[in-house]
A and B are shown apart, each in its own frame.
Chain A
Amino acid sequence: MPWNRPLIIGLLVVLLALTWWRLQPEDEEIRRSQLMMGTVVEIMAGGQGFDKLDAAVDAAFAEMARLDKLLSSHNPDSDVSRLSQSDHGGDVAAATAEVIALGLEVAQRSDGAFDLTLGRLKSLWGFDQETPTVPNRDALATALAGIGPEALSLEGQQVNKRAPQLQVDLGGIAKGYAVDRAIAVLKQYGVTSAAVNAGGDMYLLGQRSRRAKHPERFWRIGLQHPRQKDAVLETVQVRDRAVVTSGDYERFFEQDGIRYHHIFDPQSGLPARGCQSVTIIADSVALGDALATAVFVLGPQAGLLLLTQYPQAEGLIVATDGSLHTSPGWAAYQVTP
């Protein structure tokens, strides 16, 4: 064979490869936001077929709206409101029972650092109102009476209250559960790449889809620095994982030079003081939500001890003094600078 033939064939191959690379269809990506559950919920879905993605995102939002009606303490007809108003409890929807079951499990394993019965305490502080205030000691004692991991019990879909005055509050876990359900709906529609983000509590399904000049890759999530507003503490990369952060910087007020935030220690009724922020990477957002709160309340040492009971979860804790504490598996998610 004349020597020039391989040269020509080689050039042809290069040309074909370049054409193939350039003409490969890019994934479509839909990004939509709605105000619900007291926050901005954003859903991104990527892949082929705009109509399919659009229908999937619609259905995911509808599922979250359905759960908001069941689990919100602001809706007087919700399961949560009915439980709070009743003396002894009552039957709830399967979804509500599932949320309560997970919440009670974390409450027990964390010795009450996570608590589903802080409704009266949260109302007392008034973080949902325009002017939150520091309650007096007697009011705190009254609001904490009867709470704890044993305050609620669950038999099937029947919830029992230990004391009539208990006010159920699923705020620390309901949003995460709704995100998990939205992801389940997206999967049912065949979506393989998506992110559902409810005010920073998020689940990342599959990989970030292929876009212009950027190949498919793991999702990269920046973690808010707790003391520098426009700074990122670090970046993690994940797929098929929930990322949840609880921090003392999100909702707080200052009185007499003291900063009061919205994550309460159920033992004292006061804002927990062991951490600035906690980020959990877990296999579900609901679990991540509950663990982030529990670890925040427990502080770095006890918090890391709690995480050893959950092999499907890893955590990054910023302690009150700014020091960083991580669970053993955290490093696997860190993006190497």
Chain B
Amino acid sequence: MKTPWHFMTAGDWLVVLFLLTAALAGIAWVAAAPEGTRVVVTSGEQTLFIAPLDQPRSVDLDGPLGQTHLVIDEQGVRITRSPCPRKICISMGTARHRGDLLACVPNRILVHIDSSAEEAPYDLLSR
């Protein structure tokens, strides 16, 4: 008796192979949907600010020298104003990849891009 495989033509095998590959690629595509990345700003051991990278906003952050102005937009996050003398932090440009870092040493502001593959445990804090 012939097994079912004997009914498969070369063309059938080709179609099955194509669909199987496409399905596996699709699964990988879904799994690789953009992960939530976030901007974390710290000063010393203190976390000053955490925000999603995909939500445009600007914020003033207080440091010992004054306010550092941070902008988050579609390009990433960058420092646009700073009270520090040499403005090195501004010249560092835009950070957008996981692990990227912006730092204003005189004003003790550290900005880094973090990845939050897991959702935060809560959306808002009631206090």
Residues of A within 8 A of B33 (CB): 22, 212-213
* A/B interface sample: 7 pairs, CB < 8 A: A4-B8, A195-B123, A211-B36, A212-B54, A220-B122, A232-B121, A235-B121
A199 to B36, CA, bound (A): 25
Q: Are B124 and A219 neighbours in the complex by a CB distance under 8 Å?
A: yes
A10 to B4, CA, bound (A): 17
Report if B16 contacts A (CB, 8 A).
yes
Most buried by A among B4, B7, B12, B125: B125
Q: Mark A1-26, 1 if CB is under 8 A from B, else 0.
A: 01110011001101100110110000
Report if B119 contacts A (CB, 8 A).
yes
Shortest CB distance A181–B (Å): 19
> Within the complex, which residue of B7, B8, B126 is in contact with A245, where a contact is CB–CB below 8 Å?
B126
* A residues 266-291 touching B (CB-CB < 8 Å): 279
Shortest CB distance A21–B (Å): 6
What is the interface of chain B mostly: helix, strand, loop, or mixed? mixed
A245 to B127, CA, bound (A): 5
What is the interface of chain A mostly: helix, strand, loop, or mixed? strand
* B residues 17-68 touching A (CB-CB < 8 Å): 19-20, 22-23, 26-27, 29-30, 33-36, 54-55, 57
Residues of B within 8 A of A29 (CB): 55
Q: Are A222 and B125 neighbours in the complex by a CB distance under 8 Å?
A: yes
Q: Are A195 and B126 neighbours in the complex by a CB distance under 8 Å?
A: no
Shortest CB distance B114–A (Å): 15
> Within the complex, which residue of A11, A201, A221 is in contact with B123, where a contact is CB–CB below 8 Å?
A221
Q: Are A222 and B124 neighbours in the complex by a CB distance under 8 Å?
A: yes
Report if B92 contacts A (CB, 8 A).
no
Tell me the nearest residue of chain B to A30, going by C-beta: B55
A208 to B36, CA, bound (A): 15
Chain B residues at the A interface, C-beta cutoff of 8 Å: 4, 7-8, 12, 15-16, 19-20, 22-23, 26-27, 29-30, 33-36, 54-55, 57, 119, 121-127
Residues of A within 8 A of B57 (CB): 31-32
Q: Are B119 and A214 neighbours in the complex by a CB distance under 8 Å?
A: yes
Tell me the nearest residue of chain B to A17, going by C-beta: B26
Tally of contacts, chain A with chain B, CB under 8 A: 98
Residues of A within 8 A of B30 (CB): 18, 21-22
Residues of B within 8 A of A279 (CB): 126
Q: Are B7 and A4 neighbours in the complex by a CB distance under 8 Å?
A: yes
Q: Are A31 and B124 neighbours in the complex by a CB distance under 8 Å?
A: no
Q: Mark A158-201, 1 if CB is under 8 A from B, else 0.
A: 00000000000000000000000000000000000001010111
Report if A80 contacts B (CB, 8 A).
no
Residues of B within 8 A of A221 (CB): 122-126
Residues of A within 8 A of B55 (CB): 29-31
A221 to B20, CA, bound (A): 43
Other A-B contacts than A8-B16, A15-B26, 6 sampled, CB-CB below 8 A, are A3-B4, A11-B22, A202-B126, A212-B54, A222-B121, A222-B122
Q: Are A220 and B121 neighbours in the complex by a CB distance under 8 Å?
A: yes
Asked if A224 meets B23 with Cβ closer than 8 Å, knowing A7-B16, A22-B29, the reply is: no
Asked if A195 meets B124 with Cβ closer than 8 Å, knowing A8-B19, A22-B26, A213-B33, the reply is: yes
Asked if A200 meets B125 with Cβ closer than 8 Å, knowing A2-B7, A4-B7, A15-B26, the reply is: yes
A250 to B20, CA, bound (A): 59
Residues of B within 8 A of A250 (CB): 127
Residues of A within 8 A of B7 (CB): 2-4
Report if A223 contacts B (CB, 8 A).
yes
